[in-house]
Each structure stands twice: as structure tokens, then as C-alpha cells.
Structure 1
Amino acid sequence: MLYAVVDIETTGGHASANGITEVAINIHDGNEVVERYSTLINPLINIPIHITALTGIDNEMVKSAPTFADVALQIYQLLNGKVFVAHNVNFDYSFLKHHLAAAGYDLQCKKLCTVRMSRKVFPGKVSYSLGKLCSSLQIPLQNRHRAAGDADATSLLFNLLLQHDVDGVIFEMLKKTSKEQVLPPHLDKAAVIRLPNQPGVYYFKDNKGKIIYVGKAKDLKKRVTSHFTGNKPNRQRQDFLKNIHNIDYVVCGTELMALILEANEIKRLWPENNRAMKRYEHKYDLCVFEGQNGYLRLAIDKHKTNNKPLQSFNNLLEGYNFLNHLINTYQLCAKLCYLQKAATKCMAHENGQCFGACSGIETVAIYNKRLNAALEDIQNMQPSFALVDEGRKDEELSCLVVEKGKFYGMGYFTDKNYLDDGFEPFKENLSTYQSNSYILNLILNHAEQHPQKLYKL
């Protein structure tokens, strides 16, 4: 078996927007390096100053160098059919695969990461960066941050790994079915192996144990593994994978419970790599408050975190339609509901629709009594029910509860007659969560699609 030990220098951190400035490939036969290849490459774009400071490669040095297209065939022939070896292999592989594809060549190699191998063969090191690892293992490293120098050091490291691999780590990594082929460099395979094939929520953690991403899954093992497949060259994905050091998870009875837990955990933890769920909220709320003269007032307001809405809406028209319905049904004052801005009494007073609260004709007590009746009816319109579904194991059932139009909480029980005595007795056995429109819509849609799971309270 032949190995291609590779190192590259680039103009930046992700392949889709950056070029390669230098490539070094050492062909290794399992005992020693039998062939060396290295070349500077003209990336056809400017080399940033900070990259030059790191590598020493500047625009003048690559001015007369071949472009990648000029050497693509030779590079492809060197790599094709070999095991691709590199320190943090996904970085080098994604760059070369991307640029070879642009030149018309489809690179498909088995991969070995010397970071991952070193963690298994030489456990307990303070750092597994190439420089620190070479220092601790007394491997000479010359021309640091140049492709040939780093490739030679990686080749010597690979020699040591082959010599000390008494447990067959490399053989296991090369199996087609091995998770090692796709895992991030700092993630132990055991963390993925222990994941169950059940619904749940998973947490990616960085090297300090900080949660950097929360996700939900119908099948935890399949979903987590799907994050690591493919070789997308964008910087965001490469940085994301590089920062994953560990995984935690919580098993849920159903995918719906996983969706709800995920939404709450994202709001609670605010992980840096979760974006879409952070922004999901209804845009407008129906709120009630007491004015200076004592009259209760209804208003459609933009959604704010500290609002305590009676009802929430996706758009302003939806909110105004609901408010107008209340005004017409309970003969409320449109002016006190901010739907008329006239300085005098509202127009509805002229035709008897409004009883004059806006001009003090109708007393505070009478008007507020009628408005409170409207508020009570709004509350009574809101559904209260439980959704009973599968649990986390055979003898268990799960339960989601909505109380007066708000998600209350969820939990698990084993007695099928648990709900016969109503909601209050088992309230204390549920875990309570924040309710929002996203979660409520999930539950209502599920209840509509699966009426057989619905238990009215």
C-alpha cells in the first residue's frame, strides 16, 4: 500500500474562495519516503500580508510559478490510488479535491489524519499541533509553514505512528465503514459509537467543554454522522468541524419532543453555530395595559421579549383583524385600542357601536368589565390538551401538554390511565419549558395530523 503524505500552503482558510501557493507530496511505501514532489503555485490572486508573514511566500515568489491548472494532472497522478495522509487531513484534502475538480479531475482517496492517529497512538500530549508534537517526539522540523518542510516532518511522524501502532489503529481507520474516515480531527470515535439510534438532542462541545452547537435528530447516530460526511470546502464548515471535541446527547421519546427540546436549548444556551432558530419569533403581539385614566387598553405591538401577549401574530394585518373582531364583538372603543387617532370621540360613538369610553361618557368600571369579559373569552378560546405518544423505551409513554393555548411542558409515564384524573395531579411530574409560537405551531400541527394521540384536558 502506498501513502501520499501531503502538505499545502494557501492564501486563506477555505478552498472555495482561496488559492494554493505551494504543494508538497511525499510518496511513502509504509517503510520510508520513496518519492518527493513539491512546487510553488501561482494562485492568481493576491497573497495577504498576514499569510506572507506566516509562510514567507509572497506575490513575487509565485509570479513565475505554474498555476494549479498547469500541474493538476501531475498532482492527480501522484495522489490517485494512494492513501491521502496529512496533519488535519480534511483541510488539505478539501483544498486539493476542490481545485482538482475545477481542473477536471475527481479525487477519491482514503484518508488518514495524523492528528487523529497521534491522539490514539500517543495519548496524553499537551498539544497535537504539528510543531508541538514534533518537539515532544524529537522530530526535526525545518522550514516550518512551508509545504516541503511540513510534509517531511509529517512523514517522519507517520513513520513513528506506523512503528508504535501495536493496536492496529491505522488498519481500523482505513476500513471503509470506519467513522475515522469522516470524523473531525479532535473527536474520539467512541463519542459517535455510543450514540443510540433514537430521537433526541445532541450537543457539540469545544476543547473547553463549551456547547457550540445544538441539534435535534430522529436518529441521533445517523444525524450526527451526517455532519461529518462530504468535503465541502467552505471556511465555516471547516472551522466548525475543527472545533468539535466532544458530544453529549439527550434521548427523547419522539422527534417532536426533540424539536421542542432543541428550540428551548438554543434559546437557553445561545450556541455560536446555531443561527436560524435564534431569530424565530412572532413579529406582533396583542397586549393589554391600563391607561392613565384607568381604562384598560388593547394594542397591537411589535414583539418584545418582555411582552406578555394575549395572542401573537405573524404580521400586522393578522393582528388588526383579530383586534377588530374583538371591538365589534364586545363593542369596545376603537380609539382606546389605538385604531383611531382623532382628538375627539371615536367615530363609532356616533352610530352607537361605542358607548363613549373615549370621551368619559361610559365609566371606567363598566368599560373595563366588558373588556375583561373579552379577555376571559380569549383565554377560554385557547385549547388545553395532552399529546400522548411513544416513550424512550417499550414500557414508557410520553406526554406533551398545552394549557390555555401555551405549551406547558413534557415528560414520561408508564401508567396508561395516568391522565384519567385530569391535568393537575400529574403537573408536577412534567418538565416545564418556555412556550413560543414556533413550539406551539409544531404541537398544533402534530395534533391535527394525529388526532388519535390527542387527549383533551
Structure 2
Amino acid sequence: MILLDCETTGGRASHDRITEIGLIEVIDGEVKDKWQSLINPQRPIPPWISKITGIDDAMVIDSPTFDEIASELYERLQGTILVAHNARFDYSFLKQEFKRVGYDYSAKTLCSVKLSRRVYPRHQGHSLDKIIQRHQIDIPDRHRAMADTDAILSYFTIIQQQVDETLIQKSIAEILKRPSLPSHLDNQLIQKLPEGPGVYQFYDESGALLYIGKSVNIRERVLSHFSADHRHHKELDISQQLHHIDWIETPSDFGAQLLENSYIKQTSPRYNRRQTKIKKLYQISRTINKGGYAELDVILADMTAASDITSKYGLFRSKKQAQTKLLALITQYKLCQRLCHIEKKSSGSCFAYQLKKCLGACCAKEPAQRYNLRVDMALSHIKNQQWPWSTPIIVAEQSTSTQSDVTHYHLIDQWRYLGQVDKQNEPQTYLTNQQGPIFFDIDTYKILLRFLTPAKAANFPYLTIHPLEHQSPIIMDGWG
């Protein structure tokens, strides 16, 4: 195996370049060779990178380019397991650099971060800095390629001294485990799978769509379908029928979730059962009766009223689901079953009052103001989120992958995803050309809530929200 570390001009393999490589060849537990080189990235090294690594433009100006060392490096790496800390980062940069000069590089990777988590599960933090500090590894030149590679080698020595050999071998085998691919699936296609976010589609021999999935790492997720144990019958069935894989890359998980949800509902793949298009939704309504008491009832959502998701409470896929939630709220907050339309009596005390599970709102034994306050407390847990903007918005989605720097623009209004637009400043083309009804979709709503609500938006710095000035809200044509 070869232990390796790369220093780079930044974090994106599609854009940034390698500035230094250090590697150590280990055979049967013994160090056989060491090799290192500064590399001219043929572009300026950002000052903040130089501050971290100590590598600046002057140091690499007379160093070889990657093209000049590619042949020697490729020979060194052929047929070996590549070991690195956060191996995905170093491996993606090597693949991109080799690809630029005409080499198709592929290797098994052993990530020392993943190994550390397996053999030291109780430790907090598995970054190289944490490991160096925790195990007191002497490293004089941190963030230089060979120094970091030496630190990884020292860490492996410590693991061998402190951890049972059986656990070490088992952990390494699990990390290196290559899934058993279907015999009728082209292995070259697997090698082309991207390691960034997006959506993938499985097809059978006749071209029928079997399954649609999404992931932040398409290749890793696709391979997980072919684990030898096939814990679920569905995975085994898919594996036996699968003949072709297609995929669409997205800048981040945000676009992948929206695309997966949309594609599943448009195409209804054979093995996707969870996300089906919902033609009816149910909500809980709150009204005030003549006595001043709040009454709750399960109703069919109004298919023409855009305000329904915020003027009523909850969004449920079936009447039974809504009633189950209402019964839970009744129990938790001691609400009256008659005033919640569970008990069908038109007047008088409910049966729960006799069991002391209702405080008497049904027979005016409890003041309306106090009962209504408790109703509002119960409903606060299922209150739908108001649309925070007065206009439609454009969400600029920047890439989170080291292998891409693409930005996508998404048009959204009233928690409805209207589609991807070519440019942030030209969404009106989509608005004026929109054909057919624009539906409200509960799964889209939940995805957008996870990413776009003001309380959560700060967690996703790669998403930028741009309200469209002077653009009226788009008329709601229906629910779906």
C-alpha cells in the first residue's frame, strides 16, 4: 500500500491544483520507499493557502508540473491501495490531475479517518490535528505533504500497538470491501460514476425504470446497493434485474433532493414506493363555536386556496393519519373529544369528562379562554411555516463537491418548486412560459423547510436566496 498526502491550491478538484505530493510505500508492514515533490500548479497559490502550508509561488516556480511527473507517479500508484487521511479529498485531486494529462487512474482507497472511527469509537474527533494531539505524534512541519504522510504512518504504528489485530483487519476489510457487482452490469460504467451529489436511475434489460435514488456521493451510494449480504429483498431484486445506470449530477444535496422527488413522481419507478404523488391532503381546522370554545375537525384541504397550508394546521397524507394525530393531541393536552368532533354527540358533556380526561369545556365547566389557550398550545406543534418572502425567490445553489464548481438556480414560490432556470436574473422567462397548473407538493414543502427557513438557512452557506423584486406571487392552481 502507499500512504499519501497532497497539498493543493484550494478545496475543489475540478478547479484547484496540487502543489505538493508526499508518499510512503509500505510492503508487509515495512517502509520500502519514500517519494516527494513540489509541483508547479501553473496558477497563483492563494495567500491563505500559503499561510497554512508554507508553500508559496516562489517555492514552486521551478518545480515540475503534474504533467512532468505524471508517468512516474502513475507507475508508483498502479495496483496499490491508496491510504490517506480523508482519502476522498486526495483521491479526487489525483483522479482529476491524471485525467487532465490523459491517464485513467483508479484505485482502492483506505481512509485513515474511517479506520480511526472504527478502532477508536469513543474518541471525539478524528481529524489529523486531533490524532496528532491525542497520541502526541511528533510532527515538525504540519501541512507539508511528507510530514503529514509520516504522521499517518506513525498513527498506523500506534494502532497496531494499541488495538487488537483482529479488529484492525476486520475494520480495514470493511472499508476496502468491494461490492459484488451484477454480472450483467458494465464495470466501466461503475468506474465513471461521479463521487459528488446527484440523482441516479437504475434500468432493467428492456430499459424500464427500476429505481431512482439520490446521494451526496453517487458512486458510494450506488455501490452500497450491491452489498453481498443484501439485507433487503428489494436490494436483491434490483441487483438481479439491473442492466444500466444513468445519473444527473447536482451542485449539492439540496438540488439532489428536489430532483429525486420530482423524478419519482413523474416516472413512478417500480421499486420507489414512498414518494407517490398525493392528490388529496388533509388538515385540522380550528373554529370558534357560539359558546366561545375552539372546535377542531379533520377536513380535506382546499385544492384552490393558496393560503390553506398556513390558515389550517398540519398536512396529512390521509384522513386516518390526521385523526391519529388529533387523538394524540387530545390525550396529551386533555382536549374535549366532542369539541374535536371525535365523539359525535351534539351537546352535553363528553364521555372523557366522566373519566376525568376532559376538563369540562364541553359542558362549560372549564372557561373558554383557558381551554382555547390549551388548544393553541397543542396546535403550535403542527403549525405550518408561513412563506417568509412577499415574492417568489431564486435560490442559487453552489457546488459542495471538490470535483465541480457549477451553480444552479432554482425558482420557488409559496413553498412550491417551479423549476430550474438558466440564469438568476432571467426567471421571468420561466414565469411567462409556464404551462399547466402549478401544484403544491407535501414532499417538496418538507425539503424546502429543511433548507430555506430563516432558522436553518445559515447551516447551508452554499445556498443564496434572492427575492424577485416587483414580481407578484404566482397564482396557486391546485394541490398535488
Q: TM-score range by the shorter chain?
A: 0.3 to 0.5
Q: Which has the higher contact order (CA 8 A, sep 6+)?
A: 2
TM, length-normalised to structure 1: 0.45
